[in-house]
Structure 1
Amino acid sequence: MIELPLSVSANVIALIAYIGGFSAATGMIIVETIAISTMLTNSLVLPALLENKRFKEKYTFRIINFAVWIRRGAIILTVLLGFFYYKTVASYFSLVSIGLIAFVAIGQFGPIILGGIFWKGATKTGALVGLLSGFIIWLFSLILPSLLTDATGNYLNSSVSAFFEFFAHFKIQGFDDISNTTFWSLLINSIMFFVVSMCTEVTPAEAKQALLFVDVFKYSNKDGQSLLWKGKARNEHLIELLVSFIGSMQAKEELEDFARKNHIDLKDSIADPKLVSYVENTISSIIGTSTARMLVASITKEEVVSIDEILEVLKRSQKIVEDNQELKNKTQQLEKLSKELKNTNEKLQKSDSIKNEFLTTVTHEIRTPLTSIKALSEIIYDNEDLDFDQKKVFLNTIIDETDRLSRLVNQVLDLEKYESGKHKLVKKNIDIPHLIETVFLRMEELAKERNVKLQRFIHKEVTGFKADEDKLIQLLINLLSNAIKFSRLEKGWVLLSVDTIKNRVIFTVEDNGVGIPQEMQARIFEKFYQADNQRAVKEKGSGLGLSITKKIVEIHKGNIQLDSVPDKGTKVMVSFPF
Structure 2
Amino acid sequence: MGMNELTSWLPVILRFADQATALAIGVFRTEGCAEYLNTGMRYLLGENNQAPAEAFVVPTFDSLQHHEAPEERIYQGWLTFGSAHTPHRSVRGEIHRRHNSLLVIAEFDVEDLERINHELMQVNREITNLQRELARGKAELAHLNELKNEFMGIAAHDLRSPLSVIQGFASLLVRRPDIPADERAELLAMIMESVRDMLNMLNNLLNVSEIESGKLNLHPQQVDMYDYMARIANLNRHLAEQKNITLTLDLESGLPLVSFDPDRIQQVMNNLLSNAFKFSHGGTTVTIRVAKSQPDAIEVSVIDQGQGIKADELNKVFRAFQRTSTQATAGEHSTGLGLAICKRIIELSGGRIGVESVYGTGSRFYFFLPLT
The equivalences for 1:117-156 within 5 A come to none
AA paired with 1:559? R
Opposite residue 363 of structure 1, the aligned amino acid is A
Counterpart AA for 2:242: E
How far, CA to CA, are the matches of 2:118 and 2:134 in structure 1? Answer: 24
Partner Cα distance (1:534, 1:494) in 2: 17
Q: 1:435 and 2:228 equivalent?
A: yes
> Which of 329, 343, 362 in structure 2 is aligned with 1:569?
362
CA 1:448–1:522: 2 relative to 1, 3 Å: same
Residue number in structure 2 paired with 1:366: 159
Tell me by how many angstroms 1:458 deviates: 1.4
Q: Decide whether the 8 Å contact of 2:162 with 2:198 is kept in 1.
A: yes
Give the superposition deviation at 1:550: 0.7
Match of 1:481 among 253, 256, 274: 274
The whole-number CA distance in structure 2 between the counterparts of 1:411 and 1:325 is 53
Equivalent residue, structure 2, for 1:495 = 287
* Superposed CA offset, 1:515-572 (max 9, x none): 0001111111122223x75758754222211111111111101011211001111111
Shift of the alpha carbon at 1:384?
Answer: 2.1
**Where do residues 175-254 of structure 1 align in structure 2 (5 Å cutoff)?**
none
Counterpart residue number, 1:348: 141
Query: CA 1:321–1:313 in structure 2 vs 1: closer, same or farther (change >3 Å)?
Result: farther
Amino acid at match of 2:299: I
Larger strand proportion, structure 1 or 2?
2
Amino acid at match of 2:192: I
Aligned to 2:122: 329
Residue 352 of structure 1: CA displacement? 1.1
C-alpha displacement at 1:314, in angstroms? 7.3
- Return the TM-score normalized by structure 2: 0.68
1:465 to 258, 263, 275: 258
CA distance in 1, matches of 2:222, 2:179: 55
Distance 2:282 2:290 in 1: 26
Aligned CA RMSD, in angstroms, stands at 2.3
Report SS of the residue matched to 1:529.
Answer: coil
Amino acid at match of 2:163: L
State how far apart, in whole Å, the 2-side matches of 1:527 and 1:376 are.
31
1:514 maps to which of 282, 307, 325: 307
Matched-pair contact (CA < 8 Å) for 2:201–2:335:
yes
Shift of 1:388: 2.3
Separation (CA, whole Å) in 2 of partners of 1:534 and 1:483: 12
**Contact kept in structure 2, 1:511 and 1:570, CA below 8 Å:** yes
Residue type at the aligned position of 1:450: K
Residue identity matched to 2:286: V
In the alignment, is the contact (CA less than 8 A) between 2:279 and 2:327 conserved in 1? no
Check whether the contact 1:534–1:540 (CA below 8 A) recurs between aligned residues.
no
CA apart distance, 1:391: 1.6
Supply the distance in 2 between the matched residues of 1:488 and 1:559 (Cα, whole angstroms).
Answer: 28
Contact 2:357/2:363 (8 A) holds in 1: yes
Distance of 2:171 and 2:116 partners within structure 1: 79
Contact 2:291/2:298 (8 A) holds in 1: yes
Matched residue SS, 2:196: helix
1:511 Cα shift?
A: 1.2
Q: Measure, in 1, the Cα distance between the counterparts of 2:257 and 2:238.
A: 32
Report the AA paired with residue 254 of structure 2. Answer: E
CA contact (8 A) 2:252 2:290 kept: yes
CA-CA distance at 1:514 after TM superposition: 0.8
Q: Is the 8 A contact 2:307 2:326 kept in 1?
A: no
Q: In the alignment, is the contact (CA less than 8 A) between 1:452 and 1:494 conserved in 2?
A: yes
Superimposed CA distance per residue, residues 181-205 of structure 1 (whole angstroms, 9 cap, x where no aligned partner)? xxxxxxxxxxxxxxxxxxxxxxxxx
Letter in 2 for 1:438: R
Partner of 2:216: 423
Q: How far apart are residue 393 of structure 1 and its match?
A: 1.3
Aligned-partner Cα distance in 2 for 1:348–1:529: 20
Once residues 181 and 274 of structure 2 are traced to their aligned partners in structure 1, the CA distance between those partners, rounded to angstroms, is 33
Of the three residues 384, 393, 396, the one matched with 2:186 is 393
- 1:295-318 superposed Cα distances (whole Å, 9 cap, x missing partner): xxxxxxxxxxxxxx9xx9873433
1:459 to partner: Cα distance? 1.1
Alpha-carbon distance change, 487 to 535 in structure 1, aligned in 2, over 3 angstroms? closer
Q: Which residue number corresponds to residue 86 of structure 2?
A: none
Q: 1:397 to 1:534 in 2, by over 3 A?
A: farther
How many angstroms apart in 2 are the aligned matches of 1:395 and 1:516?
A: 35
3-state SS, counterpart of residue 306 of structure 2:
coil
The separation in 2 between residues aligned to 1:351 and 1:374, in whole angstroms, is 33
The question of 1:454 aligning with 2:241 is answered no
Corresponding residue for 1:127? none
Instruction: Write the distance in 1 (CA, Å) between the matches of 2:235 and 2:328.
Output: 27
Query: Which one of the candidate residues 543, 560, 569 is aligned to 2:336?
Result: 543
- Sequence identity of aligned pairs in percent? 26
Distance 1:551 1:402 in 2: 26
**Cα distance change of structure 1 residues 388 and 464 upon mapping to structure 2, 3 Å threshold:** closer
Q: Write the distance in 2 (CA, Å) between the matches of 1:430 and 1:417.
A: 25
Shift of 1:390: 1.9
SS in 1 for 2:218: coil
Q: Unpaired runs of 5+ in structure 1?
A: 1-308
Number of the residue aligned with 1:412: 205
Distance 1:520 1:406 in 2: 28
TM value normalised by structure 1 = 0.44
Matching of residues 9-408 of structure 1 within 5 Å = 315-408=108-201
| Matched position secondary structure for 1:386 | coil
